[in-house]
Amino acid sequence: MRKTSSYKVMKKTVVGITVVGKDREGIVAAFTNFAFSRGGNIEKVNQNVIKNLFGMYLEVSFSKKLDVKKFDIEIQKLARKEKMDVNTHHETNLEKNIAVFVTKEPLCLQTFIANRKSLKGKISVIIGTEKSLEPIARKAKIPFIAVEEKNQTKAEEKIIDICKKYNIDLISLARYMRILSPNFVWRYPNRIINIHPSLLPAFPGASAYAQAYERGTKIVGVTSHYVTENLDQGPIIFQDSFKVDPNDTLEKIKSKGQKLEADTLLKATKMHLENKLEVRWRKVHIKSK
């Protein structure tokens, strides 16, 4: 067994590689062999196929100094040869670029902007399905781009280009009312955080507050989780709750819940940016100091 000093482990370079494209034989071998030939050690590998769409995430570590620029150029040559869309994500101590996706509910976005100085990252762009929240972004002097394309495939093509332009490391869905396809989600594994208005796995899907109200629940909560192709079934990051008064109306419950949603999404985002989270076997583990 190879022995590695703790010093080298601390200093190793880790590169995340996402590969997305039409499914066919030989793709896994092509990219794992590429990593091995550059002296990399495969730390994680995950692959999925849905309706002839192939997605793979490789996490590769290098114990020796890596020429990041050269590595990226060479892997893009391989991507063109294999006709796959490939992105690399390098874990560094540099300020992370955050994209906030929105629709028309303002509270999550307002909370993010009000607390942005406490984030170990920069809100680089706000992407909306409509222009309702553009004035909030303009006031905060953050670029706002509306992608109003109704066809989700075409909309995601535009969003992918925007995320590449702003070199996005993390995406927070601040009440973003569109379902992201595997073609998009697989490009940002464990780097898209969503908020759901219930204590998952209870009351998944739409109208969670109405379901809770109708069932007469005594506690209502919210869940922040990483996004996967399985909608509300991604690894849970953080949950919080509030008590329901017997006299609370549905509107009162929604009001309480929306405030908690914003706070919970912000907390989960902070935890990610502070490198406190690790996903193992579909569960989120809080790293010890």
Residues 173 and 109: beta-carbon distance below 8 Å: no
pLDDT number for residue 263: 93
Structural domains in the chain (count) = 2
Handedness of CA 93, 38, 42, 170 (dihedral sign): positive
Within 13 Å of residue 46, how many CA atoms lie on the same side as its CB?
Answer: 15
CATH of residue 22 = 3.30.70.260
Residue 217 lies in a domain: yes
Domain containing 249: what range?
96-286
The CA-atom distances, in angstroms, between 264 and each of 193, 199, 210, 253 are 11, 12, 20, 16
The reply to whether 48 and 173 lie within a common domain is no
What is the pTM (predicted TM-score) of this model?
Answer: 0.82
pLDDT digits (tens, 9 = 90+) for 21-48: 999 999 999 999 999 999 999 998 989 9
pLDDT in the model for residue 244: 81
Widest distance between CA atoms in the chain: 66
Domain edge (last residue) among 73, 90, 107: 90
Give yes or no: residues 135 and 55 share one domain: no
The answer to whether residue 85 sits within a structural domain is: yes
pLDDT in tens, 266-275: 999 999 999 8
Q: Are 189 and 197 in contact (CB under 8 A)?
A: no
Looking at the fold, whether 207 and 74 belong to one and the same domain comes out as no
Which pLDDT does position 7 carry in this prediction? 36
Q: Higher-confidence residue: 246 or 80?
A: 80
> Which of the residue ranges 54-63, 81-90, 190-199 would you say has the lowest mean pLDDT?
190-199
Let me know: does 105 contact 175? Beta carbons within 8 Å.
Answer: yes
Same domain, 65 and 105: no
Displacement of CA 233 from its chain's centroid (Å)? 14
Regarding whether 80 and 123 lie in a shared domain, the answer is no
Q: How much of the chain exceeds pLDDT 70, in percent?
A: 90
Q: pLDDT tens, 217-228?
A: 777 788 999 998
Average the pLDDT over each of 74-83, 111-120, 167-176, 252-261 and give the range with the smallest value: 252-261
Alpha carbons within 13 angstroms on the beta-carbon side of residue 181 total: 17
Q: What is the mean pLDDT of residues 237-251?
A: 84
Average pLDDT over residues 45-66: 91
Choose the catalytic residue: 85, 232, 240, 248. 232
Residue with the larger pLDDT of the pair 120 and 208: 120
**123 vs 110: CA distance, rounded Å:** 12
Banded pLDDT at 111 (limits 50, 70, 90) = very high
Mark whether 133 and 218 lie in a shared domain.
yes
- Asked if residue 125 has pLDDT above 60, the reply is yes
pLDDT of amino acid 108? 94
In a domain, 1, yes or no: no
Q: Are 143 and 72 in contact (CB under 8 A)?
A: no
Least confident of 125-134, 137-146, 149-158, 276-285: 276-285
pLDDT of residue 10: 46
Place of tokens 């999404």: 265
- Angle between helices 208-215 and 250-273 in degrees, nearest 10: 130
Whether 84 and 100 share a structural domain: no
3-class DSSP string for the chain: CCCCCHHHHHHCEEEEEEEEEECCCCHHHHHHHHHHHCCCEEEEEEEEEECCEEEEEEEEEECCCCCHHHHHHHHHHHHHHHCCEEEEEECCCCCEEEEEEECCCCHHHHHHHHCHHHCCEEEEEEEECCCCCHHHHHHCCCCEEECCCCCHHHHHHHHHHHHHHCCCCEEEECCCCCCCCHHHHCCCCCCEEEEECCCCCCCCCCCHHHHHHHHCCCEEEEEEEECECCECCCCEEEEEEEECCCCCCHHHHHHHHHHHHHHHHHHHHHHHHCCCEEEECCEEEECCC
Reply yes or no on whether 232 is catalytic. Answer: yes
- Tell me how far CA of residue 194 lies from CA of 108, 171, 218, 228, 258, in angstroms: 11, 9, 24, 10, 13
Report whether pLDDT(20) > 80.
yes
pLDDT range class, residue 282, cuts 50, 70, 90: confident
Same domain (yes/no): 182, 261: yes
Residue 201: the pLDDT is: 63
